[in-house]
Amino acid sequence: MMFKKIPFIYALCLFIGLQLYAQEKQNNLSIKISIDQSQQKNFEKKGRIFVFLTQNSKLEPRNQIWPNPYQKTHIFAQNIDHFSPKKSIELNGQDKWTKTPEWSLNSIPAGTYYVQVVWDQDIKESRINAPSNLYADKQKILIDGDQELSFILNKKYKPRTIKEHPLAKLVDLKSDTLSSWWAHDMNLKASVLLPHNYDKNKAYPIRYNVAGYGGRYTRINWLISNENFMKWWDSEESPQIITVFLDGEGPFGDSYQMDSDNSGPYGYSLINELIPHIESRFRGTDNAMTRFVDGCSTGGWVSLGLQLYYPDMFNGVYSYSPDAIDFENYQLINIYKEKQAFKNEVGYLRPIMRDTNGEPLLSMKEFIAYENVFGSSNSYLNSGGQFSAHTALYSPKGDNGLPKPLFDPYTGVIDAEVAKHWGKYDFKKYAEANWSILGPKIQGKIYIWMGDMDSFYLNTGTRGFDDFLKSTSNPKSDAIIEFTPMEGHCSLYSHKEVLLKMQKRIDMLRKQ
């Protein structure tokens, strides 16, 4: 009996041995990067190199700068202090990379990948798709053992432009306030969509639209290219309202159009420089009764914040799916009481993203790991991403010119002192502390929409703010806050519907 079992045991041992060998087998990827001669003239020797890997053939890896749980893209990055334009550099898994996956470049899981390299040499913009940055064409490789790849940085990101259209205008204004604060020239940009049959001798209502996270002034191009929208816009049915598309770029990501200890006086510059400039050039009036603001996601937070912090400047906000407006519900974190951002009180990884059925898709820890890669500090503090912008706006100044983090980039431990500082932009705290003065000024001006299955758990913060408004007196708030069951992030936001809501309010004001 024992003799007959030997072949089976031998086969089992061989199988286990092969499995262990497969696990221990190193798949090393070494990368040689050089600069195409055509790009050497404006090449900067100091920057940050990015390596993108994806297994989806349809993706352009370099464009995956936002965590997508459905399309996993693995990113490696490191700073390079001296990259000679006439010499190549060679990098491998032994180098010090900040990365999104658990594995390294010397232990890549076997498979087919599409790889692309980006050289971030720009210091003017916060994200890697800045016009002066370089990249190489993506390459398809099969990882099954050691691999050597060569990339030539031969392409440059395209400059931003607005499509030509008689109703589309560009605004590019040097901000004296921001320039003084930063000690170098700082410009504010926006695009303007004029109404049908625009007459420069007439006075018009005006709408200031704030984009979702990081949205640029060039998003006007999407509407100009939307045949159905433009057919409606160029008809007698469309409201005679000027739309201004504000720019979301700031030194640490989106500026959020607010004053901060880290980014500077963006709120002051908007209210006192950009808006007066735009309205003197296009609007024909500076009447606040017909000035409105709107947006979704980040734009939902900013537009609501502008109405609350500058209540006399705007006569109505249309805020959809705003970022967390109550920091007792900063998505799923109570920043004032909890000690850990990555895990909840029972030790589970805290989700940050879900589908409309409630299925978690991405954890807070994974999201921050993504942002850590994009920061030249190897942390989210200057990544140009969502949490970089939040920290720049809400936090005090920290070390080395960076904002002070609410939580550690790698452990998630929350700093209680920083959390207190964040309270300045907790809308529930702000409204509660200032209600006797603020309440009368915002009567009739607040409209908020939220999907109750918001993709980023933002409904929790809006519920907290709603509970406060329902408790108010002297005056009792008349804010309209709508929660739609089973709807996700920004799912009911529409430029057309917002414009029609604004027109309805204008008609009501004119009857008064």
* DSSP characters over 355-408: -TT--EEEEHHHHHHHHHHH-TTSSGGGSSSHHHHHHHHHSPB-GGGPBPPSB-
Q: How far is CA 423 from CA 257, 390, 396, in A?
A: 17, 12, 11
* DSSP H or E run through 277: helix 275-278
User: Is residue 330 exposed (0-12), middle (13-18) or buried (19+ Cβ within 10 Å)?
Assistant: buried
Taking the CA of residue 352 as centre, how many other CA atoms within 13 Å lie in the half-sphere pointing to its CB? Answer: 20
For tokens 């609350």, the residue is: 308
Neighbours of 432 (CB within 10 A): 15
Q: Name the nearest CA neighbour of 452 among 482, 486, 480, 481.
A: 486
CB-based contact 62:39 (threshold 8 Å): no
Q: How far is CA 495 from CA 136, 208, 317, 432, 503, in A?
A: 37, 12, 13, 31, 12
Q: What is the pLDDT along the chain (512 residues), one digit of tens a residue?
A: 333 444 555 544 444 444 444 444 568 899 999 999 999 998 999 999 999 999 999 999 999 988 989 888 999 999 999 999 989 999 998 889 999 999 999 999 999 999 999 999 998 999 999 999 999 999 999 999 888 999 999 999 999 999 999 999 999 999 999 999 999 999 999 999 999 999 999 999 999 999 999 999 999 999 999 999 999 999 999 999 999 999 999 999 999 999 999 999 999 999 999 999 999 999 999 999 999 999 999 999 999 999 999 999 999 999 999 999 999 999 999 999 999 999 999 999 999 999 999 999 999 999 999 999 999 999 999 999 999 999 999 999 998 899 999 999 999 999 999 999 999 999 999 999 999 999 999 999 999 999 999 999 999 999 999 999 999 999 999 999 999 999 999 999 999 999 999 999 999 988 88
Backbone angles phi, psi at 149, to 5 degrees: -125, 145
Helices (H) and strands (E) counted in the chain, each on its own, are 14, 24
CATH 3.40.50.1820 in the chain, residue ranges: 168-326+426-511
The predicted structure's pLDDT at residue 182: 97
CATH 2.60.40 in the chain, residue ranges: 26-156
The predicted structure's pLDDT at residue 145: 86
The predicted structure's pLDDT at residue 511: 87
- Report d(CA 460, CA 326) in Å as an integer: 8
Collapsed DSSP state (helix, strand, coil) of residue 109: coil
DSSP-assigned beta bridge partners for residue 77? 50, 98
Q: Name the nearest CA neighbour of 107 among 55, 99, 65, 135.
A: 99
Parallel, antiparallel, or unpaired for β 206-210 and 291-296?
Answer: parallel
Which numeric CATH code is attached to 168-326+426-511? 3.40.50.1820
The predicted structure's pLDDT at residue 9: 54
Report residue 410 as tokens: 């790698």
The answer for residues whose C-beta is within 8 angstroms of residue 264's C-beta and 6 or more apart is 177, 178, 181, 182, 186, 251
Neighbours of 402 (CB within 10 A): 20
Q: Which CATH number fits domain 26-156: 3.40.1000, 3.40.50, 2.60.120, 2.60.40?
A: 2.60.40
Supply the DSSP symbol for 425.
G
Neighbours of 88 (CB within 10 A): 14
